[in-house]
Amino acid sequence: MDPLSITASTFALARLCMKVSTTIYEFTTDTRDVDTNVQNLYRGLGSLSQVLTNISTAWKENPLVAVAQTGPDGNLWICVKDNVGNCGVVLKKLEATLDKVSAENAVGKGFMRRPVKQIRLNLNKKDIQGFGSEVQTYERALAIAFNAINALETIETGIQDLSQSLRQRQPLGVGASSEATKSLEEFLRAANTFKSSASTVVNGDTSTVRGGLTSQDGGSIFGDSLSDDRYEIIQSWIPPPSPLGTRGTSTAVGSTQQGGLNHRGSLPELMAVLETVTQMADQYRNSEQERNSSKDEQLRSLEMENRALEQRLEESKAAQKSLDIEGMDLKTKISGLEDQTRQQAAVAANHVEDQSRSSKVIARLSEELRHSQKYSARLKFDVGELILELKNAENNAAREREEFNTKLSIRERELCQELDQELKRAAALEELNFDLEKECKDYKSRVKKLDYDLAVARDERVEMEVRLHMADRRAQDLGKQTAQLGAECEDFKGLVKELEGKLDSAQNRCISRSNALSNQNQKAKETERILRQLASLQEQQSQLLSAYSTPLESGTADQEPEDRPASVLASKDEEQTEYKIIATKEHATQEESNAVANTDGASDTRNSVTASQQTELRPARVLATKDETQHKQQNETNTIASTEQSVQKDKQSMELFRKGIRRHLAKTPTGSEHGPVLRNSTEIVYYDWREAEEAQVVA
């Protein structure tokens, strides 16, 4: 443990921290939505790199630190070196993990690169938190060491933070182990010892030594010196030597034993003898401490071997668990990718079905437009025929009335009045004709509306063509995505096979390691037996020391060996997190198809006219009267009879015309699928065959 090795280690770790932080910075810039845990890990690595650089610089520039490692506080720097080594192990694991993730990210460079990277970061969230906790713990521990190098006043705050961090430190599977935890606890105890000795040097009045010893680093390791009261009691109790005796002879000793309390002149000589005795006790204690230190070193080496074995066992278990978790994660990813491919295939099939349905809708719209045009032309022709027939009937009635006024008598005038009444009725029929013309106008407006609907249908057809083009492009993109996902599935299958091979090899290694651990357990039992023997020897030594130190009244406390805490394996909770990747269906296409269906139904109701009903719209024609010129040669009686017959025929023709109009207006719908059906004079009933198709699909 020399300063050069610590300097080199800290410098190498600083470079490693910079390398890892650069890799994480590339991850952060490459992903838009990065978890805050990765950013916290990046900031923690930056802080740790700065602390390691400061420690390396302090070791190089401060020569007093190299001197302090040989003093009573050298244990602090031993703990610093151990923590630096453990920190290096954690950083190497982090570097290996980042290299593995970088290699996996370098495989795919398509449009799925960012989502896959985000999913992997979320899956490794627990490892990221574990690395962040480890980096934060080591950063605080090494910051305490740096504070010990530069200023002792800030150690106490750092010790409190480190204690809290150790209490909150969870046993994660990324770098935490019983040995690392124990080294951190030893570091905390050494820091507390260093703080107490430093406070002894700084305060002065509370120092444990006096005189020339106050200038040393730390206090006396054998307890407090004699106080003034004790010194006066000793002076009053020890008798002075006899004047004839000489120092160092048996007579002098006998005189000192028999002089009693009346002679006090030999006090300096007795103090000198007491001082030599204390020096001998100090030498004996030093030798015992050296023996104990050698035994402690042996015990420490045995404990280190046990810790190494425990750490290997924990690493093997952690590796096996991590392999199991990775296999399960890969299985869940593969199942999620297969679900995505199935969903994308279903979406493509829906797009193809929508395309075929839209083509059918366009064909129906064009056919309905054709039927509506034919229907409007027939309506115009029928209305023209009705108008011509009404005009002919009016002309014939006027001509007959003029002829009758010239030839008929009073009786004939009466008959003419009746004929006028009939003409009034004909005027009523003209009003009915006006209503028919109005209805014809309505039909014309409906035809215009049908033309407008046709234009709207054309616009919708253009919009559907655009949507179909977009659907084709989307289907092409989905095909590319499915191809890329298939390639990634093949890669994942290869990884699964590789992981299965690794699991088999790991199981074999675990079996061999379990056998080795059984052998090591036997060795550990042997070491425990040796430790019990050493403990009994230490108790005998402590009894000898207490028996030797009681007559001298040195006032020093017996030193008891420190109980070494047994290493405890930290139990690790297995947490299995399953990430279900659920892809939502696209409802936009369904909404578009529903909208198209609604427009189709509306257009169907406007354009379902049948040819059979068009034939029924033809009105009954008015029967024309016979030519009255043939009856001029007959007598007046025959003329009156003929006029009566003509009036009766006019009545019958009007009645037939009215019946035809009523039958036409009161016609019930037949449910034809070619066009509209008249139910009354102001309503058109449409038959929507889309409902029938949907019923067939449901069936």
In this predicted model, which residue has the larger pLDDT, 401 or 564?
Answer: 401
Query: Is a pLDDT exceeding 70 seen at residue 336?
Result: yes
Please indicate whether residue 273 or residue 464 has the higher confidence score (pLDDT): 464
Mean pLDDT (whole number) for 223-249 = 48
Domain hosting 67: range is 1-202
In a domain, 525, yes or no: no
Is 483 a domain residue?
Answer: no
- pLDDT attached to residue 201: 37
Q: What is the mean pLDDT of residues 55-70?
A: 59
- Residue 210: which pLDDT band, with cuts at 50, 70 and 90? very low
Q: What is the pLDDT of residue 102?
A: 64
Which of these, 546, 541, 540, lies nearest to 558 by C-alpha position?
546
Of the listed ranges 47-56, 530-539, 552-561, the least confidently predicted one is 552-561
CA distances (Å), 3 to each of 12, 151, 184, in order? Answer: 14, 19, 20
Assess whether pLDDT exceeds 50 at residue 305. Answer: yes
**Local confidence band at 60 (pLDDT 50, 70, 90 cut-offs):** low
Pick from 196-205, 408-417, 594-603 the range whose average pLDDT is largest: 408-417
**pLDDT for 106:** 52
pLDDT at 401: 73
pLDDT band per the 50, 70, 90 thresholds, residue 339: confident
Instruction: Confirm if 278 and 222 have CB atoms less than 8 A apart.
Output: no
Q: Is the pLDDT of residue 688 over 50?
A: no
pLDDT of 438 over the 80 cut? yes
What would the mean pLDDT of 376-396 be, rounded to a whole number? Answer: 78
- Mean pLDDT rounded to a whole number for the chain: 64
Could you tell me the two tokens for 430?
């003209």
Confidence band, pLDDT 50/70/90 cuts, at residue 528: confident
Percent of the chain with pLDDT strictly greater than 70: 45
Of 128-132, 194-198, 327-331, 521-525, the one with minimum mean pLDDT is 194-198
Q: Which residues pair with 350 in a beta bridge?
A: none
Query: In the structure, what pLDDT confidence band is assigned to residue 562 with cuts at 50, 70 and 90?
Result: very low
Quote the pLDDT of residue 634: 62
- In this predicted structure, the answer to whether residue 223 has a pLDDT above a threshold of 70 is no
**Distance between CA atoms of 333 and 116, rounded to whole angstroms?**
10
Q: Who has greater pLDDT, 267 or 37?
A: 37
Q: Which of 28, 231, 34, 202 is nearest to 122 (CA)?
A: 34
Predicted pLDDT at 646 = 67
State the SS3 of 352-415. Answer: HHHHHHHHHHHHHHHHHHHHHHHHHHHHHHHHHHHHHHHHHHHHHHHHHHHHHHHHCCHHHHHH
CA atoms of 116 and 450, how far apart (whole Å):
54
**Residue 223 in domain:** no
Is 55 exposed, middle or buried (CB count within 10 Å of its CB: 0-12, 13-18, 19+)?
A: buried
Q: How many domains does the chain have?
A: 2
Q: What is the pLDDT of residue 434?
A: 84
Q: Which of 167, 202, 237 is a domain's end point?
A: 202
- Position 560 scores a pLDDT of 42
CB within 8 A of 18, min separation 6: which ones? Answer: 49
What pLDDT is attached to residue 597? Answer: 46
Q: Please report whether residue 217 resides in a domain.
A: no
pLDDT at 38 exceeding the cut of 50: yes
Supply the pLDDT for residue 661.
60
Tell me the pLDDT tens digit for each residue of 578-602.
Answer: 434 334 444 444 444 454 444 444 4
What confidence category does residue 157 fall into, taking pLDDT thresholds of 50, 70 and 90?
low
Range 374-388 average pLDDT = 77
Kindly tell me if the per-residue pLDDT of 7 is higher than 80: no
> Considering only CA atoms, which of 67, 69, 89 is closest in space to residue 79?
69
pLDDT tens figures, 131-141: 777 777 777 77
Q: What is the pLDDT of residue 73?
A: 54
pLDDT at 255 over 50: no
Most confident of the following: 62-71, 175-184, 525-534: 525-534
Q: Judge whether 9 lies within some domain.
A: yes
The answer to whether residues 155 and 198 touch, using CB atoms and an 8 Å cutoff, is: yes
Helix, strand, coil tally for the chain in percent (to 5):
80, 0, 20
Does residue 435 sit within a domain?
Answer: no
Rounded to whole angstroms, the Cα distance separating 127 from 106 reads: 21
Q: Worst-scoring range by mean pLDDT, 256-260, 281-285, 513-517, 536-540? A: 256-260
Q: What is the pLDDT of residues 158-192, one digit of tens each?
A: 666 767 676 666 554 444 456 666 766 777 677 66
pLDDT for res 439: 82
- The answer to whether residue 634 is domain-embedded is yes
- The confidence score (pLDDT) of residue 620 equals 39
* pLDDT for residue 139: 72
Domain end point (choices 178, 202, 226): 202
Strand partners, 683: 680
Q: Which of 202, 217, 245 is the last residue of a domain?
A: 202
Within 13 Å of residue 414, how many CA atoms lie on the same side as its CB? 3
Mean pLDDT of 287-298: 70
**Looking at residue 602, what is its pLDDT?**
42
* pLDDT at 574 > cutoff 60: no
Residue 360 lies in a domain: yes
Q: Are 244 and 215 in contact (CB under 8 A)?
A: no
- Which pLDDT belongs to residue 472? 85
Looking at the chain, the whole-number percentage of residues with pLDDT higher than 90 is: 0
The residue that leads in pLDDT, 558 or 80, is 80
Give me the mean pLDDT over the 59-67 stretch: 56
pLDDT band at 259 (very low <50, low <70, confident <90, very high): very low
